[in-house]
Amino acid sequence: MNGRSDELGPRTGNRLALRIAIFGGVALALFVVLFFRLWLLQVVGGEEYLAEAKNNRTREFRVSAPRGEILDRTGRILVANRTSLALQVNPDKLPEDPRERRAELARLAELTHTTLPKLRRTIREELKVAAGAPVTLRRDVGSYLVFYLEENQDRFPGVSVQRVFVRRYPHGTLAAHILGNVGEVSEEQLEEPTLRGLEPGDEIGQDGVEDTYDGFLRGTPGIERLQVDAFGQPTRNGQLVSQPPVPGDNLRLSIDSGVQEAGEAAMASFGLRGAFVTMDVHTGEILALGSYPTYEPSVFTRPMTQSQVDELYRDPVLAPLTDRAIAGLYPTGSTFKPITAIAALESGNLTTGEVIYDPGQLVVGGQVFTNAGEAANGSVSLVRALEVSSDVFFYTLGLRMWDTGDLQHWAHALGIGRPTGIDLPAGAVEGLVPSQKWRNDLYREGETERPWSAGDNVQLATGQGDLQTNPLQMAVAYAALANGGTVVTPHVGLQVDDAAGRVLREFDPGPRRQVRMDAGYREAILEGLHDAAQGGAGTSVDVFGDFPIPVAGKTGTAQRPPYEDQSWYGVLAPYPDPRIVTFVTMEEGGFGAEAAAPAARTILEAYFAGRLSEESKTGGEG
Amino acid sequence: MYATRARRARPEPFALRPGIAERLGLPYMDATLGISAVGLVAFSVFVLGQATQHDVPGSPGYFVDRQTIYAILGLVGMYVLARIDYSRFRELRVGIYTFLCASVTAVFFFGFAARGSRRAFDLPFFSFQPSELGKLLLVLALAGFVIDGARRGSARQRTVRYLCLGLAPAALVFLQPDLGTSLVYGAITLAVMYVGGVPWTHFAVIGAALVALVALVLAIAPAIGTPILKGYQQERLTSFLDPSDAGYQQNQAKIAIGSGETSGRGDRATQTRLDFVPERHTDFIFAVIGERYGFMGAALVLSLYALLIWRALRIVTLSKNSYGTLVAGGIAAMLLFQVFVNVGMNLGIMPITGIPLPLLSYGGSSILATLLAVGVLQSIHVQARLSQKGRFAW
Q: What is the DSSP string of B85-150?
A: -THHHHHTHHHHHHHHHHHHHHHHHH-EEETTEEEEEE-SSSEE-HHHHHHHHHHHHHHHHHHHTT
Asked if A283 and A258 touch (Cβ cutoff 8 Å), the reply is no
Q: Is the pLDDT of residue A214 over 60?
A: yes
What size, in residues, is chain A?
622
Per-residue pLDDT of chain B (394 residues; tens, 9 = 90+): 444 444 454 555 554 555 777 777 788 889 999 999 999 999 999 988 887 776 766 777 788 888 899 999 999 999 999 999 999 999 999 999 999 999 888 888 877 666 556 677 776 666 788 889 999 999 999 999 998 877 778 888 889 999 999 999 999 998 888 888 999 999 999 999 999 888 889 999 999 999 998 888 777 777 777 777 776 667 666 666 654 444 667 777 888 888 888 888 877 777 776 667 777 778 888 988 988 898 999 999 999 999 999 999 999 988 888 899 999 999 999 999 999 999 998 888 888 888 899 999 988 889 999 999 999 999 999 999 888 765 444 4
Torsion of CA A484, A490, A496, A497, to 10 degrees: 60
Residues of B in contact with A24 (CB under 8 A): 310, 313
A33 or B110, greater pLDDT: A33
A278-302: per-residue pLDDT in tens? 999 999 999 999 999 999 998 888 7
Q: Identify the closest residue of chain B to A12 by CA–CA distance.
A: B197
Three-point CA angle B215, B219, B221, nearest 5°: 95
Residues of A in contact with B320 (CB under 8 A): 2-4
A71-84: per-residue pLDDT in tens? 999 999 999 988 88
Burial of A58: CB neighbours in 10 Å, binned 0-12, 13-18, 19+: middle
Check whether the bond before A562 is cis (ω within 30° of 0): yes
Of A122, A472, A179, residue with least CA distance to A297 = A179
Residues of B in contact with A52 (CB under 8 A): 255, 258-259
A566-589: per-residue pLDDT in tens? 999 999 989 889 999 999 999 999
Q: Identify the closest residue of chain A to B318 by CA–CA distance.
A: A1
Residues of A in contact with B151 (CB under 8 A): 9
Pairwise CA distance, residues A300 & A316, whole Å: 20
Q: Is the dihedral of CA B359, B363, B368, B373 positive or negative?
A: negative
Residue type, B146: V
Pairwise CA distance, residues A121 & B227, whole Å: 40
| A234-293 residues touching B, CB cutoff 8 A | 235
Helix axes B93-110, B155-174, angle to 10 degrees: 30
Q: What's the confidence (pLDDT) of residue A10?
A: 43
Q: What's the confidence (pLDDT) of residue A47?
A: 82
Choose from B147, B270, B286, B303 for mutation: most chain A CBs within 10 A.
Answer: B270
Asked if A134 and A232 touch (Cβ cutoff 8 Å), the reply is no
Going by C-beta distance under 8 Å and a sequence separation of 6 or more, which residues neighbour residue A319?
none
Any B CB within 8 A of A36 CB: no
Q: What's the confidence (pLDDT) of residue A197?
A: 75
Q: What's the confidence (pLDDT) of residue A459?
A: 93
Residues of B in contact with A55 (CB under 8 A): none
Q: What's the confidence (pLDDT) of residue A241?
A: 58
Residues of A in contact with B260 (CB under 8 A): 42, 46
β-bridge mates for residue A138, sequence order: A87
Asked if A67 and A182 touch (Cβ cutoff 8 Å), the reply is yes
The partner residue sitting opposite B295, judged by closest CB among A42, A57, A227, is A42
DSSP state of A352: T
Q: What's the confidence (pLDDT) of residue A596?
A: 93
What's the Rg (C-alpha) of chain A? 37
Asked if A291 and A275 touch (Cβ cutoff 8 Å), the reply is yes
Check whether the bond before A574 is cis (ω within 30° of 0): yes
Asked if A119 and A108 touch (Cβ cutoff 8 Å), the reply is yes
**Cβ-defined contact of B150 to A27 (cutoff 8 Å):** no
A216-247: per-residue pLDDT in tens? 998 888 877 666 665 656 665 555 556 788 88
Going by C-beta distance under 8 Å and a sequence separation of 6 or more, which residues neighbour residue A148?
A111
Any B CB within 8 A of A18 CB: no
| A57-86 residues touching B, CB cutoff 8 A | 57
Check whether the bond before A297 is cis (ω within 30° of 0): no
Q: What's the confidence (pLDDT) of residue A58?
A: 63
Q: Is this complex scored with an ipTM above 0.90? A: no
Share of chain A above pLDDT 70, in %: 91
Chain centre to alpha carbon of residue B52: 23
**Cβ-defined contact of A34 to B299 (cutoff 8 Å):** no
Any B CB within 8 A of A32 CB: no
What are the CA-CA distances from residue A386 to residues A336, A389, A540, A599, B169 (Å)?
11, 5, 11, 21, 115
Pairwise CA distance, residues B380 & B28, whole Å: 10
Choose from A34, A52, A54 for mutation: most chain B CBs within 10 A.
Answer: A34
Name which of A200-204, A409-413, A467-471, B133-137 the model is least confident about: A200-204
Residue type, B339: V
Phi/psi region, residue B388 (left: phi>0; alpha: psi -120 to 50; beta: rest), is: alpha
Q: What's the confidence (pLDDT) of residue B116?
A: 59
- Chain B nearest C-alpha distance from A228 (Å): 7
Mean pLDDT throughout A307-312? 84
- Tell me whether strands A70-71 and A250-253 are parallel, antiparallel or unpaired: parallel
**Cβ-defined contact of A9 to B195 (cutoff 8 Å):** no
Asked if B339 and B301 touch (Cβ cutoff 8 Å), the reply is no
Q: Which H helix or E strand runs over B219?
A: none
Three-point CA angle A69, A72, A73, nearest 5°: 125
pTM: 0.60
**Cβ-defined contact of B295 to A38 (cutoff 8 Å):** yes
Helices (H), chain B: 2-9, 20-24, 31-51, 62-83, 87-91, 93-110, 130-148, 155-174, 179-195, 200-215, 221-223, 231-239, 248-259, 285-318, 322-346, 364-388
Q: Is the dihedral of CA A172, A176, A182, A187 positive or negative?
A: positive
Task: Round to the nearest angstrom and report the end-to-end CA distance of chain B.
Answer: 20
**Cβ-defined contact of A230 to B305 (cutoff 8 Å):** no
